[in-house]
Structure 1
Amino acid sequence: MDKFDANRRKLLALGGAALGVAILPTSAFATLSTPRPRILTMNNLHTGETIKAEFFDGRHYIQDELSRLNHFFRDFRANKIKIIDPGLFDQLYRLQGLLGTSKPVQLISGYRSPATNNHLRARSSGVAKHSYHTKGQAMDFHIEGLSLSNVRKAALSMRAGGVGYYPRSNFVHIDTGPVRHW
């Protein structure tokens, strides 16, 4: 009887894994598995800057383009730059693929220095003390013309990190930390 239960568990686990792979959004899976360039077009709503960066050439990250993105994501209040986790750019690129859009991403907040984070935290209960923004692993944004709730749903479906939903402030938060949402 125990041998039958063990085999049954193995069969159920394999079937579940196969089903999980079968229902993955194929376009989202192909977005990162296909070796092709990854390009982001963004506007920084606080600085007025615009960027179009091909940060991955199909095989490797392009360091000069990552540096440009790091500067674009800088803490504009303190004029401090931090290396941004390239996985965040991958996540954003994949999200645009899921949403079927190439419209510019409207960046609201990228890197925040600890001093800026503490300043914002004193003014709002929605700012985490140990924010992933201070680690270069988070961004707040929206995409012009797309429903914020659809952006949130697509981000949640990726299960790639944290997803915060702020409809009153008109932005979605994504980060490369553990999978969670609020």
Structure 2
Amino acid sequence: MKSISRRGFLKGLSGTALGLASVSAFGTQVPLLASKERTLSFYNLHTGESMDATYWADGHYIPEVLADVNHLLRDHRSDSSTAMDTRLFDMLHLLQQDLGVNKQFHVISGYRSPETNAKLRQQSKKVAKRSYHMLGKAIDIRLPGVPLKALGSQARALQVGGVGYYQRSNFIHVDVGPVRAWG
């Protein structure tokens, strides 16, 4: 039987619950995306909005809930949104499982319109010209109660996509692009 990497696993998700197991950051066994439901909790630091979102249940993503999450993760500067990549939500769910926590993600940035990205890029060289935020494939987060270094290390250990560590700004960037790390 051919082994599959976490990256390949997440890329190949077809919406079925799998009974794989992993060792969390604290050494406990946790099922990988094996639950009947996948729930995430978000707090948007810019809009003050929060939500608990069961975005996947009974083997399927829930379009109405995804639409609500997409709205919460919108570009608050332009009030525009996009369909966020569901692999990003699965990565966040997996990250919480591996950390053994069920806390609210504080969102610094979700979707960014090209115009907003261009403005931010003028202010900082750290903003990518072709940011995955513009594609709905990236999110900047922190997880209260979890040290930023631990959050970043665990996200990197997933080997799912890009992970940027921004200690001075107190957040990590995660995306479902190529596996890479910085910061």
Is the shorter-chain TM-score for this pair beyond 0.5, marking a shared fold? yes
Contact 2:111/2:134 (<8 A) preserved: yes
Matched, 1:92 2:92: yes
Largest Rg, 1 or 2 = 1
SS of 1:25's equivalent in the other structure is strand
Counterpart-to-counterpart distance in 2, 1:181 and 1:65: 30
**1:25 aligns to 2:22 (yes or no):** yes
Structure 1 residues 126 and 148, CA, compared in 2 at 3 Å: closer, same or farther? same
Aligned residues: CA RMSD: 2.0
Q: How far apart are the structure 2 equivalents of 1:144 and 1:58? A: 29
Residue type of the alignment partner of 2:22 = P
Contact 1:37/1:54 (<8 A) preserved: yes
- The answer (yes or no) to whether the contact 1:39–1:56 under 8 Å persists in 2 is yes
The letter of the residue matching 1:66 is L
Deviations 1:71-116 (A, max 9, x none): 0110010000101000000000110111111111100000000000
AA aligned to 1:30 is P
Match of 2:141 in 1: 141
- Counterpart position of 2:14: none
SS at match of 2:140: strand
Amino acid at match of 1:31: L
- Give the 3-state SS of the residue equivalent to 2:53 in structure 1: strand
The aligned residue for residue 104 of structure 2 is 104
Counterpart code for 1:46:
H
How far 1:26 sits from its partner (Å)?
A: 4.3
The SS at the match of 1:30 is: strand
Match of residue 21 from structure 1? none
Matched, 1:70 2:70: yes
CA distance in 2, matches of 1:124, 1:35: 40
For residue 88 of structure 2, what is the amino acid of its counterpart? L
Structure with the greater relative contact order (CA < 8 A, sep ≥ 6): 1 or 2? 2
Q: Is the 8 A contact 1:35 1:58 kept in 2?
A: no
User: After superposition, what is the alpha-carbon deviation per residue over 1:24-74, rounded to whole angstroms, capped at 9, x for unaligned?
Assistant: 834687222x14100011100000000110000040000000000110110
Contact 2:117 2:127 in 1 (8 A): yes
Equivalent pairs counted in the alignment come to 162
Structure 1 residues 175 and 29, CA gap change in structure 2 (3 angstroms) = farther
Counterpart in 2 of 1:8? none
Structure having the higher helix fraction is 1
Q: Quick check: 1:43–1:50 contact (8 Å CA) kept in 2? A: yes
**Overall identity of the aligned pairs, in %:** 44
Aligned to 2:125, the other structure's residue is in SS state coil
Superposition TM-score, scaled by structure 2 size? 0.84
Check whether the contact 2:95–2:154 (CA below 8 A) recurs between aligned residues: yes
